[in-house]
Amino acid sequence: MPLDITIPVRRRQQQEGPDIQLKEKPKFSKSPLSEPFMKKLTNIFRRNNPGNIKLTADEMRKYSQGKFSGYTTTTGETYRAYLSKKDGLKDIARLTKEYGYDNLTDIFNKYKAPDESGQAPMSTEDYVNIVKNQDPEAFESGDKIDFNNKRQVKALIKGITFAENDGYIDQELKEKGLGVFDYYTDEDIDKAVNEFIK
């Protein structure tokens, strides 16, 4: 089970960006509160960017030419927008693997490094613990991670998704028992993992 922890919203007051067409529309068939949940989703959900991943310099150039999907915050940072939940979840694994580290501590030291948009919402240790808590047995040997291990990659994606999105969930929804994983479901995450590791 994820840690019972409230994550402060990091750095971003988000505004509407360019419209994009989504291949997959949010489905909440298992939740009787699906309609109010959807109405209260912020850009971080509606743009399917669970990792809060920003555009690279090359992507920014394409974005300015209308060739890359993204959205810009009121403070000027530009983030990726994904065509589906699966794409956004899978990109968390892609990005963290490209760091070139084999352990969670080094991954999160880089992932949470402060930039012009401010500080991350928690410490490296907190990130690591949240990831490991998604599947403790998968990390029995410590914080080493194998990007060919589906259980570890799933825990990584789930942990980052929780850490980066919990602060954006409206308190009214939390009081009704709704949270991050009512949007990014296990089924969505499994699809992302299975496509990332073939």
Between CA 126 and CA 186 the distance in angstroms is 22
CA gap 151, 36 in Å, rounded: 32
Q: Tally Cβ neighbours within 10 Å of residue 52.
A: 23
Does residue 49 or residue 61 have the better pLDDT?
49
- For residues 5-19, average pLDDT: 37
Nearest to 12 by CA among 71, 73, 60, 80: 73
pLDDT category at 133 given cuts 50, 70, 90 is: very high
- Bigger pLDDT: 7 or 128? 128
Query: Are the C-beta atoms of 48 and 83 separated by less than 8 Å?
Result: yes
Q: What are the extents of the domains in the chain?
A: 34-39+84-196
In this prediction, residue 89 carries a pLDDT of 96
Model pLDDT, residue 4: 39
Q: What does residue 80 show for φ and ψ, rounded to 5 degrees? A: -70, 150
pLDDT at 29: 38
**pLDDT single digits (tens) 73-127:** 777 788 888 888 999 999 999 999 999 999 999 999 999 887 655 567 688 999 9
Length of the chain: 198
